[in-house]
Structure 1
């Protein structure tokens, strides 16, 4: 939203429209009689800002000239270490700026040589192929070979390890890093990031999640977020207020209740929302209130609050369309059909796709198919008890421990992770004039670096809305909701303990507080035991790696 340009300030009679955040531009209802007046006001304000900027620049130039006439006793300011902000090259007077230093370092990087064998899932290669070409254009001395595989990454690496044909790097993976590390497949990255000025722009919480046994084993590739899908047409039709960026789970519940009528439902499904509420309602915990520092699930706190709120919404008549199916997917769907009409009830999102649902828990990874919906919509930040504490998923890049040219391999995964040049090349593909509908169906990707150049480029993309930009800005405050990638044997703990007993609470069979106390004990003990087993194995793996790389 453009602050200060409200519809009411342009035309006090306007009281039914609302701002839309689609395709980057703020839009109002197409039948607005005030649209031209609004745009006129925005243009006038832009002209005033431009005039002020020109006046300010003129004053600065005059002051600069006056300062330059004040003699030759120039004083170079010093930083806290006593070093001048500008350094000199050799003994001359030419100052070397930070940008010059950066260019020198990049020039040195581009001289690195070697061969990099890239492994990537077959379907993921088309989107990165132009960026690989950009890498080769900059790194002329690095030869890149590509191996596209069609099985899971773990299966691919297991097979290649047995034949001695391992790749050097794996890109855009969503597998279990702790398993890869326990097999001795990963190359520690600490020596490569040391002294790299661009690593400072990668949020610390992300690097911490990739650090095992005191060593960094992967770099982030891109971020995705769990979000709340909003049907904007229905929001208008029901005359409901658009939620704020930092809305709470309680705000979410009230909106869904307000949207529930004889014809419409607040959401298609709520199942599992409690798992993410447990993180978003806290300051320090993740999914299922997982505490990374103690390796425990603190379920008696925010999970109890989250699951009870979810149950409250499920018990509100007609709010959750899923409950109208009565006994699940293959059960009686009469109530569902009575409310929403005939259709393909095998499609678990039938009413949602018909436009009869206000919201639904969706991820940014769903954009590729959501874009085909026939009504206006947007993805809005997940409700937060702690501002900006959002559930996110991160895919990763890593080097293989047997790679022959490790510096070249690192430059490759760095380029696709946090280098400004690599990210800008990737973002270029999502500009309207460059976008290939078959390849860039997801409309954007969320970078994992907050480098100023990358941030500016990302937020200027035509399909990055205010809500998506808010998620990006809060990566540093968000929590990992894809625990299976970074916690050893999380799936086993979830399948054996968390999910079965949690489902009893979600269905109203068991009491949340009682189950939470039980699970907090048994699930935490099981998880800690898996961590201990993993860390013991990893210690031996690290010793073996160190002995081979002295």
Structure 2
């Protein structure tokens, strides 16, 4: 009998020792096939971790809320999100990851601008998963036709940008397609301290008086004051509705798409516009948003993220998959190859992504992709990025922007006031919103941090 019990216990112990840890990973429905292939690559290195793919719909935070409301288990890893992280963090659903960075051979290749992007109280709650840059798309064919020399990325300054935009503005051509929100992004470029909408991330408040807001608005007004320079500014929908030709149609043609027809030198676009930009019939390159030499190069970047849920039974294994997805060079290169395998059209990859790491293996492979050289240059200068997707981490962001600052910006654009006259009053109102929202969030965060050790003890059976 004793021998039988011993053998039974030995079998149980042996099975348990070799049992796979099973984790769930939530992804968007259109990415399921990609992630199944990525899991196969992951299992080449971690065969004892089983990964099950589930779909998060219709949005990440809504999906998480519905999952908790239904008393179901959260996914161990949320693979890709661009929604406000402050919400799941405030609910206590996110696992701080700093314990896993010790002796990590890959984390040093993630620049501080990305590594510190999702921190609260000095705790890392998410990892950068993929990046998007705000850029200037330069029509290389039209540039040559206008006898203009392609600038280097390093020398692409505000003055040179303005010069090229003016020289390209003729009876036949325009300098740039549109400048919607150009000033709000340039507020992150024309100051060393502020980012999108002139927010100071160190002080956690807007600085419209001393930050990049005022010089950015002045730059935009200067560009818009030159007749015909901004192609889309020539559009008058009221005239079109009345059956009349507006200035855009008179210049480019009744049914013209001036940008696509190579009649506009530059486009203020982003890397997330690739799906349609890759279809234009002319040669182009992505250039960084122009910089001020006195301030230096600052590349405005959006950072999508991945996180591990606080309720996972296997935090280490969940982190390993999150790392494989985000900054483990083996996983990142595998992901790039998956995108590359989806094909090339007109000499351009149909899809790709910008990694969140500067690991030499990743940079080397990225160099081989059939994508614009400017994007390759930006990856190699990832340490010069400035964060512009502040809504992902700043509680109260939308209220401060759309209820306070945006209406003032519109008055300035209509010429009803000047930025200098309203900067102080507007920033004070916006900062009041941010401060009140942070107070509420900080209390929830404190509660979540307090409960986290208790949650882990219950899950780990201690």
TM-score calculated relative to the size of structure 1: 0.75
- Give the C-alpha shift of residue 155 in structure 1: 1.1
Residue 250 of structure 1 corresponds to: 159
Within 2, Cα distance between the matches of 1:300 and 1:121? 41
Q: Give 1:344-383 correspondences, 5 Å limit.
A: 350-383=257-290
Residue 172 of structure 2 corresponds to: 263
Within 2, Cα distance between the matches of 1:501 and 1:330? 29
Question: Which structure 2 residue ranges, 5 or more long, are not aligned?
Answer: 1-17, 458-462
Residue 512 of structure 1 corresponds to: 419
Residue 15 of structure 2 corresponds to: none
Within 1, Cα distance between the matches of 2:187 and 2:277? 27
Residue 308 of structure 1 corresponds to: 218
Residue 296 of structure 1 corresponds to: 205
Residue 125 of structure 2 corresponds to: 217
Residue 340 of structure 1 corresponds to: 252
Residue 404 of structure 1 corresponds to: 313
Conservation of the 8 A alpha-carbon contact between 1:311 and 1:508: no
2:362 matches 1:454 = yes
Pair 1:116–1:276, CA change in 2 (3 A): same
Conservation of the 8 A alpha-carbon contact between 1:502 and 1:515: no
Pair 1:179–1:515, CA change in 2 (3 A): same
2:433 matches 1:526 = yes
Pair 1:250–1:129, CA change in 2 (3 A): farther
Within 2, Cα distance between the matches of 1:416 and 1:546? 27
Give the count of matched residue pairs: 431
Within 2, Cα distance between the matches of 1:423 and 1:329? 50
- Give the C-alpha shift of residue 508 in structure 1: 2.5
Conservation of the 8 A alpha-carbon contact between 1:213 and 1:539: no
Higher relative contact order (CA 8 A, sep 6+): 2
Conservation of the 8 A alpha-carbon contact between 1:443 and 1:463: no
Within 2, Cα distance between the matches of 1:357 and 1:234? 8
Question: Which structure 1 residue ranges, 5 or more long, are not aligned?
Answer: 1-110, 345-349
2:36 matches 1:129 = yes
- Give the C-alpha shift of residue 126 in structure 1: 3.3
Within 2, Cα distance between the matches of 1:329 and 1:544? 61
Residue 22 of structure 2 corresponds to: 115
Pair 1:353–1:126, CA change in 2 (3 A): farther
Conservation of the 8 A alpha-carbon contact between 2:174 and 2:265: yes
- Give the C-alpha shift of residue 195 in structure 1: 2.3
1:233 is aligned, of 138, 141, 144, to 141
- Give RMSD over aligned pairs: 2.1
- Give the C-alpha shift of residue 209 in structure 1: 2.0
2:229 matches 1:319 = yes
Residue 89 of structure 2 corresponds to: 181
Within 2, Cα distance between the matches of 1:135 and 1:378? 34
Within 1, Cα distance between the matches of 2:239 and 2:260? 17
- Secondary structure at 1:280's aligned position in 2? coil
2:353 matches 1:445 = yes
Conservation of the 8 A alpha-carbon contact between 2:284 and 2:372: no
1:542 is aligned, of 446, 449, 452, to 449
- Secondary structure at 1:416's aligned position in 2? helix
Within 2, Cα distance between the matches of 1:248 and 1:517? 29
- Secondary structure at 1:351's aligned position in 2? coil
Residue 390 of structure 1 corresponds to: 299
Conservation of the 8 A alpha-carbon contact between 2:173 and 2:265: yes
Conservation of the 8 A alpha-carbon contact between 2:176 and 2:230: yes
Within 2, Cα distance between the matches of 1:214 and 1:319? 46
2:190 matches 1:281 = yes
Conservation of the 8 A alpha-carbon contact between 2:349 and 2:371: no
Conservation of the 8 A alpha-carbon contact between 2:22 and 2:52: yes
Within 1, Cα distance between the matches of 2:29 and 2:320? 22
Larger radius of gyration: 1
Within 2, Cα distance between the matches of 1:279 and 1:479? 7
- Give the C-alpha shift of residue 479 in structure 1: 1.0
- Secondary structure at 1:127's aligned position in 2? helix
Within 2, Cα distance between the matches of 1:260 and 1:319? 5
**Per-residue CA shift, 1:429-488, capped at 9, x if unaligned?**
355xx34359x95543211111122222222323251x1122112222211111111211
Within 1, Cα distance between the matches of 2:239 and 2:361? 48
**Per-residue CA shift, 1:253-278, capped at 9, x if unaligned?**
22111110111111121121111111
Conservation of the 8 A alpha-carbon contact between 2:245 and 2:254: no
Within 2, Cα distance between the matches of 1:297 and 1:475? 25
Conservation of the 8 A alpha-carbon contact between 2:404 and 2:430: yes
Within 1, Cα distance between the matches of 2:124 and 2:406? 31
- Give the C-alpha shift of residue 243 in structure 1: 2.7
- Give the C-alpha shift of residue 329 in structure 1: 10
**Per-residue CA shift, 1:361-414, capped at 9, x if unaligned?**
111111121111111111111111233311000110001111121111111101
Within 2, Cα distance between the matches of 1:448 and 1:148? 23
**Per-residue CA shift, 1:239-296, capped at 9, x if unaligned?**
1222331322232122111110111111121121111111111223211221111111
Residue 13 of structure 2 corresponds to: none
Within 1, Cα distance between the matches of 2:19 and 2:158? 51
Pair 1:187–1:173, CA change in 2 (3 A): same
- Secondary structure at 2:258's aligned position in 1? helix
Q: Give 1:5-84 correspondences, 5 Å limit.
A: none
Within 2, Cα distance between the matches of 1:364 and 1:423? 18
- Secondary structure at 2:129's aligned position in 1? strand
